[in-house]
């Protein structure tokens, strides 16, 4: 390992965007710690000399804290965290299920909060570093048949915006990552045509470029989705509700 090699911790790394991002950073010669529940998939990824597996479940807050301590002990320091764990159950989202909403919130929101908490003291004492959180543009406005998922992403968006100010005074950068439709095992569950669908390699390239080469608070892509959701943000409720209702009833 080079003395100047940068180090990153990626959660939700066993598949989808998290996996592609971890492999992209490893390709760019970062030392990459990867975490997810599926240990066998992490171990397979760890055949790459720049990738190291640290299995955990983000809903276990004690395990999350313990995992970060192990990574820190092994790596010596961490420059960047990419928290991208998430879940989505399309069938359960069709109805209003308290159990499903709780499960989704526990993984997509509380799990990420626990990850941030595990690194908070380290980065604030270090007075440098970078925390990034993978959310979604759907967090900007409510959507039908998505009672848990959009709520979890709305929570993430607001949480990330809030901690931006909390960490800025310690010289720690915070970034919100908002991918549009990316082809993964989660989006494969969708039963509708997904506009501007991209693959995970596209997402990884956009995320790497945004985190390493740019300094914006939000990384949102592709550009068509970015435009649509930025317009959605400013539409009056009456107009937004009318448009979504027309789309749903087609």
End-to-end CA distance of the chain: 56
Close Cβ partners of 207 (under 8 Å, ≥ 6 residues apart): 17, 21, 24, 82, 132, 134, 177, 179, 219
Q: Catalytic residue numbers?
A: 149
User: Would you state the torsion angle of the CA atoms of residues 24, 179, 114, 62, taken in this order, to the nearest 10 degrees?
Assistant: -50
Q: Are 204 and 132 spatial neighbours (Cβ–Cβ below 8 Å)?
A: no
Contacts of 193-200 with C-beta under 8 Å, sequence gap 24+, read 195/224, 195/225, 196/222, 196/224, 196/225, 198/222, 200/16, 200/17, 200/19, 200/20
User: Cα separation of 37 and 17, whole Å?
Assistant: 15
Q: Are 8 and 25 spatial neighbours (Cβ–Cβ below 8 Å)?
A: yes
Pick from 130, 140, 138: nearest CA to 216:
130
Residue 33 β-bridge partners: 9, 52
Q: Are 160 and 146 spatial neighbours (Cβ–Cβ below 8 Å)?
A: no
Close Cβ partners of 171 (under 8 Å, ≥ 6 residues apart): 127, 128
């Amino acid at each position: 390992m080079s003395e100047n090699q940068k180090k990153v911790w990626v959660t939700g790394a066993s598949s989808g965007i998290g996996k592609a991002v971890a492999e992209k950073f490893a390709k760019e010669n970062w030392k990459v710690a990867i975490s997810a529940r599926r240990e066998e998939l992490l171990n397979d990824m760890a055949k790459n000399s720049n990738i190291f597996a640290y299995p955990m479940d983000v809903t276990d807050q004690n395990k999350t804290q313990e995992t970060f301590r192990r990574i820190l002990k092994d790596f010596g320091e961490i420059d960047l965290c990419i928290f991208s764990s998430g879940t989505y159950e399309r069938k359960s989202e069709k109805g209003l299920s308290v159990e499903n909403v709780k499960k989704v919130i526990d993984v997509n929101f509380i799990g990420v909060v626990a990850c941030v908490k595990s690194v908070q003291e380290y980065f604030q004492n270090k007075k440098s570093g970078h925390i990034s959180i993978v959310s979604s543009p759907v967090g900007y406005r409510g959507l039908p048949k998505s009672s848990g998922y959009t709520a979890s992403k709305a929570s993430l968006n607001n949480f990330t915006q809030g901690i931006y100010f909390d960490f800025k005074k310690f010289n720690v950068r915070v970034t919100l990552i908002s991918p549009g439709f990316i082809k993964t095992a989660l989006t494969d569950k969708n039963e509708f045509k997904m506009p501007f669908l991209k693959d995970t390699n596209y997402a990884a390239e956009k995320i790497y470029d945004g985190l390493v080469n740019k300094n914006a608070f939000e990384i949102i892509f592709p550009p068509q989705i970015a435009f649509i959701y930025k317009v959605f943000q400013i539409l009056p409720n009456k107009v937004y509700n009318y448009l979504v209702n027309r789309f749903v009833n087609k």
